[in-house]
A and B are shown apart, each in its own frame.
Chain A
Amino acid sequence: MIIDHPLLGPRDSAEFTYMGDARLIERPSPDSPDAAAAFYDYAYLRDNPAGWHRELWFHEAGDRSWLVVTRNTVTHEISKVEFASDVARAKGRSK
């Protein structure tokens, strides 16, 4: 597969390490009253769609950036590639 890196352009997916569902960016707050349940859901439950899937790839043999790749799990087509840090900020994960 080819991942179109936001800065580096098309790069072979073999240069990347895969982690999975981009929801892993949305780590719950440990202080919330339902933290235990929230972390269980966060760590273990997946939508696992047959279709478009937002997922985390690490450019191990590249610039060491974590990317959020929007990829179709049935056709493997990739429609969008973003820096995970930008996505995280958009999710309000600034300190």
Chain B
Amino acid sequence: MHDLIPTPALGVATQTIGTITIAENAGVALASVAARNGQTDICADVLKSILGAVPDVGKAVLHDPEAGFWMAAGQWMIGAPMDTHEDLADLLKAKLGDAASVTEQSGGWVVFDVTGAAMPDLCEILCNVPIRKMAAGDVQRTVIHQLGCFVIRRAADDHIRILGPRASAGSLLHALITAATAVA
């Protein structure tokens, strides 16, 4: 077992601004799955066995412990708790074999959980998603302060999860806090 200690993108404490809470979530392992030519069905079966269902276009399957969402035609992002699934990509590749191309994504993203009554107001000045129309499990890739992000509407009505590029975690958090302050 190796002895290197991972560091979170920011490692900042949860912040509360008005009714809004912004928490960095460093506990998510991620891997993308892209079906090889003509292998979509096999991928679907495997994903179904893992998640209970295959994430549909623009949707997530909020399954436990693994969850996943649609990225593109024949492509999905799978997530799971880091402490139990750090080798998520290998696990998936083992199940999928030559049916899919699997790529580890854990390092690529910073994850923020944003909750609170004013969450929709915050979204309205952050990104072009129809947040008030979105239901639990809806996912939209969008742009926040010029950063390509995924916005996932979680189970609770006032909860979104934002996946953004890890290298810009600081800028993204800054944008979230500024927006929260403006709508608080």
Contact = CB atoms under 8 A, between A and B. Distances in A.
Contact of B141 (A12, A63, A83): A63
B179 to A, nearest CB: 18
A83 B72 CA distance: 12
A63 B72 contact: yes
A77 B22 CA distance: 41
Contacts of B57: 7-8
A72 interface: no
Q: Place the interface of chain B in its size category.
A: 10 to 19
A1 B73 CA distance: 23
A61 B141 contact: yes
Interface string B69-103: 00111010000000000000000000000000000
Interface string A1-19: 0000001100010110000
A24 to B, nearest CB: 21
A12 B73 contact: no
Interface of A: 7-8, 12, 14-15, 60-65, 83
26 contacts: A7-B57, A7-B58, A7-B73, A8-B57, A8-B58, A12-B128, A14-B128, A14-B143, A15-B128, A15-B142, A15-B143, A60-B148, A61-B141, A61-B142, A61-B143, A61-B148, A62-B141, A63-B71, A63-B72, A63-B73, A63-B75, A63-B141, A64-B72, A65-B72, A65-B73, A83-B73
